[in-house]
């Protein structure tokens, strides 16, 4: 997108983490916001900061896995702002558990949020994005959308799917002047690991929390990369060293990173991420 001034940006999961940081970064760049989350209190905190930056903002309590609520969200946003230019499908969760320990309900929960949430958002906002003179869709995938990671099967399934959807849409929507970017961060210091569903194995969750806290970048850093990617109309944006490294290894040999992960998993060095 050439300019962010007075554009309208929709961000899901904007109460905390990357969603909050990207909302603020877009506001700094000149956008007005339509933000949503299941956590209303956190959402109001983000909105307050957007207002202090001098931008208009509307807030919506939305569970992205709820089809009817997502449809209503679109109407509410268009009533308030008159249109939409940028959609950031950000809300996401994880399940830290081996495949064997996932329940079917875990699968339904994560696919509902991480995949159906992105499909609903893109499908329902699309007519309004098409009506704009310039528009962009950002989908949060992950480094786990580049490689299969043990104890993150369901998360990987959703993040690979989000990458596939984004790449196909990048081709399809060019004719409508809509850019599409999938974002692939490694560790970003947010609450995602703390709020993960997990097994009874306390080590699994604490290892994930520790990895995030030790190796990750700030949500603000990630948000800057996202806004830069929109500006440059990139098809995908890698964020953090782990993502660049994984991308490099996968190009070198698709099986090499999996062999390394398997060796670590067999020796119990990696319980999951
Ligand atoms: N943090 C990381 O290391 C990392 C890495 C790669 C990708 N991501 C992706 O970035 C996105 C944001 O994650 P984060 O790290 O900021 O997590 P986070 O847990 O800090 O924030 C997620 C936000 O989404 C909200 N949310 C949860 N379920 C929701 C639902 N059903 N409907 C609407 N909102 C909901 C939460 O209330 C929270 O405000 C996710 O898609 C995640 O998969 C994160």
What is the model's pLDDT at position 199? 75
β-bridge partners, 235: none
Dihedral sign (CA 163, 96, 238, 261): negative
pLDDT of residue 61: 98
pLDDT classification of 271: cutoffs 50, 70, 90:
low
Residue 176 Cα to ligand 1 middle (Å)? 29
Distances (CA, A) of 257 to 33, 37, 43, 179: 39, 35, 38, 31
Nearest atom of ligand 1 to the alpha carbon of 159: 43
Instruction: State how far the Cα of 246 lies from the Cα of 3, in Å rounded to an integer.
Output: 32
What pLDDT, on a 0 to 100 scale, did the predictor assign at position 243?
A: 97
Distance in Å, CA 165 to ligand 1 centroid:
19
Q: Which residues contact 8 (CB under 8 A, 6 or more apart)?
A: 31, 32, 33, 34, 77, 81, 82, 83, 84, 85, 86
Separation of CA 126 from chain center: 18
Q: Which of 92, 118, 120, 155 to probe ligand 1 with, by most ligand atoms within 8 A of CB?
A: 92
Looking at residues 21-30, what average pLDDT do you find? 98
User: Would the CB of 50 count as within 6 Å of ligand 1?
Assistant: no
Reported as a single tens digit per residue, the pLDDT across 50-74 is 999 999 999 999 999 999 999 999 9
Q: Does the beta carbon of 42 sit less than 6 angstroms from any atom of ligand 1? A: yes
Pocket test for ligand 1, best of 11, 18, 39, 187 (most atoms within 8 A of CB): 18
Angle, nearest 10°, between helix axes 67-81 and 117-131? 30
The stretches of 82-152 forming alpha helices (DSSP H) are 104-110, 117-131
Percentage of residues in the chain having pLDDT higher than 90: 88
CB 222 within 8 A of CB 18: yes
Q: Which of 108-112, 214-218, 226-230 has the lowest mean pLDDT?
A: 214-218
Determine the distance separating the centroid of ligand 1 and the alpha carbon of 231, expressed in angstroms.
23
- Rounded Cα–Cα distance for residues 225 and 75 (Å): 29
- Kindly tell me if the per-residue pLDDT of 273 is higher than 60: no
Q: What is the pLDDT of residues 167-181, one digit of tens each?
A: 999 999 999 999 999
Q: Is the pLDDT of residue 24 over 90?
A: yes
pTM given for the model: 0.96
- pLDDT of 185 strictly over 90: yes
How many Å separate Cα 155 from the centre of its chain? Answer: 12
**CA 208 – CA 215 distance, rounded (Å):** 11
CB-CB neighbours of 6 under 10 Å: 11
Buried b (16+ CB within 10 A) or exposed e, 149-177: bbbbbbbbbbbbbbbebbbebbeebeeee
| pLDDT above 60 for 272 | no
- pLDDT value, residue 143: 97
**19-33, 164-178, 211-225, 226-240: segment of lowest average pLDDT:** 211-225
d(C-alpha 138, C-alpha 14), whole Å:
14
User: Which residue out of 120, 155, 244, 265 is catalytically annotated?
Assistant: 155
Q: What is the CA 23 to chain-centroid distance, rounded?
A: 12
The mean of the pLDDT values for the chain is 95
Q: Has residue 255 got a pLDDT over 60?
A: yes
> Is 73 a residue of the active site?
no
Q: What is the architecture, at CATH level 2, of domain 8-266?
A: 3-Layer(aba) Sandwich (3.40)
Which pLDDT belongs to residue 212? Answer: 67
């Amino acid at each position: 997108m050439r300019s962010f001034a007075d554009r309208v940006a929709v961000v899901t999961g904007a109460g905390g983490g990357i969603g909050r940081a990207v909302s603020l970064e877009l506001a700094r760049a000149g956008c007005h916001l339509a933000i949503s989350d299941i956590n209303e209190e956190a959402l109001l905190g983000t909105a307050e900061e957007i207002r202090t930056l001098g931008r208009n903002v509307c807030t919506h309590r939305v569970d992205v896995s709820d089809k009817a609520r997502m449809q209503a969200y679109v109407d509410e946003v268009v009533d308030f702002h008159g249109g939409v230019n940028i959609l950031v499908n950000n809300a996401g969760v994880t399940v830290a558990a081996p495949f064997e320990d996932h329940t079917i309900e875990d699968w339904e929960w994560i696919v509902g949020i991480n995949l159906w949430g992105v499909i609903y958002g893109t499908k329902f906002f699309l007519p309004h994005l098409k009506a704009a003179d310039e528009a962009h869709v950002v989908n949060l995938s992950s480094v786990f959308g580049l490689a299969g990671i043990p104890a993150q099967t369901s998360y990987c399934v959703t993040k690979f799917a989000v990458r596939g959807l984004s790449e196909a849409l990048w081709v399809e929507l060019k004719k409508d002047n809509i850019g599409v970017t999938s974002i692939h961060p490694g560790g970003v210091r947010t609450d995602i690991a703390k709020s993960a569903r997990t097994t009874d194995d306390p080590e699994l969750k604490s290892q994930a929390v520790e990895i995030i806290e030790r190796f990750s970048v700030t949500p603000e850093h990630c948000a800057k990369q996202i806004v830069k990617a929109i500006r440059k109309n990139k098809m995908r944006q890698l964020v953090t060293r782990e993502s660049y490294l994984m991308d490099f290894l996968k190009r070198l040999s698709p099986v090499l990173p999996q062999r390394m992960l398997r060796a670590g998993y067999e020796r119990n060095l990696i319980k999951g991420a």
